[in-house]
Amino acid sequence: MRVAASVAVVGILMVTAVAGADPVNAPVTAAGHPVRITPPPVPTIGGCRIFPTDNSWNVNIRNAPLAARSSQIVSYIQAHGSDNLHPDFGENPAYGIPFVVVPQNQPLVPITYDAYGDESDPGPFPIPLDAPVEGGGAGGDRHVIALRQGTCDLFELYVGRRQGSGWVAASGARFDLTSNGLRPLGWTSADAAGLPILPGLVRYEEVASGKIQHAIRVTFSTTQRGFVLPATHFASSVTNIDAPPMGMRLRLKAGFDISSLTGQARVIAEAMKDYGLIVADNGSNWYFQGAPSPGWDDNDLNQLKAIPGTAFEVVDMGPTITG
């Protein structure tokens, strides 16, 4: 859910940390040979790496510094909606945000925008006419997502509806998964924050492997009129500095005891300590998203509903850009 937003930003300097060793100060063996450093693994879907290793979605934040107003922000969130974590996916295939992987030669189809076309990437897109639509197409955000193999680019629509030989949508975006490039500042995407959706979804395959190695998409009912990079867009008129801005990063506190969690819930909770949550859209408090799968076990996932929002803290990810 979103409202129209614009932002004027002048002189913003964006710096991205590069993973790997500094070639000048790289460690060496006793014989003076450079030590080979293996970068952390990057999530892969359909043979495509989901953004570079140093991309914000893939950076481990377990030891990142705390935001100065972390406790005030969490208190604000708790006062404006539900209090506990909630997986917005599960055994019911109608829940979750689906996606489709298409071949490099997938036919292109026309895309028409009827709301945020001035902040959207023009078609055509390689989205099949039978691509799955969030919620089965029965209203709501109706996200439609396609990842193209070979070129490894991602195409996402908001309020997608098939029309004739193509799609109509409120907004849409293309992301190059080989690049850390952001959308223009002030632009939305298929998500209110201007972020891609697919990289933040919890997928059954990765949970079954025992480890999630990326941040997770989360929504809050009241957000701020501002965003933190890598987000590029806000969808609120609230100016309270303790309202969460789009792109804000949270993590489950290192000292929060998750030893009683089992199965799928334990894997997800560990990821929330290591990679955390990224605020991506307006929605129900503490709802985090995953892709539909018959492998989900609601008994496992429901354990996460006992985790209170107060078990989280806000990570310092830089200044909030307002407009």
Tens of pLDDT, residues 260-279: 999 999 999 999 999 999 99
Running DSSP on this structure, what letter comes out for residue 256? S
Averaged pLDDT for residues 85-107: 97
Q: Is the pLDDT of residue 7 over 80?
A: no
Please give the pLDDT value at position 296: 98
Averaged pLDDT for residues 153-160: 98
Averaged confidence pLDDT in the chain: 90
Averaged pLDDT for residues 87-92: 97
Which of 273, 277, 272, 268 has its CA nearest to residue 246?
A: 277
Please give the pLDDT value at position 208: 97
Averaged pLDDT for residues 96-103: 98
Please give the pLDDT value at position 1: 58
Which of 153, 312, 187, 145 has its CA nearest to residue 244?
A: 312
pTM, full prediction: 0.89
| Least confident residue range of 3-17, 130-144, 221-235, 254-268 | 3-17
| Least confident residue range of 3-7, 58-62, 150-154, 314-318 | 3-7
Residue 15 neighbours by CB under 8 Å, 6+ apart: none
* Residue 265: strand, helix, or coil: helix
| Least confident residue range of 26-40, 114-128, 261-275 | 26-40
Q: Where are the domains of the chain?
A: 44-322
Q: Is the pLDDT of residue 11 over 70?
A: no
Averaged pLDDT for residues 114-131: 98
- Partnered with residue 303 across adjacent β-strands are none
Please give the pLDDT value at position 40: 60
> When comparing pLDDT for 166 and 22, which is higher?
166
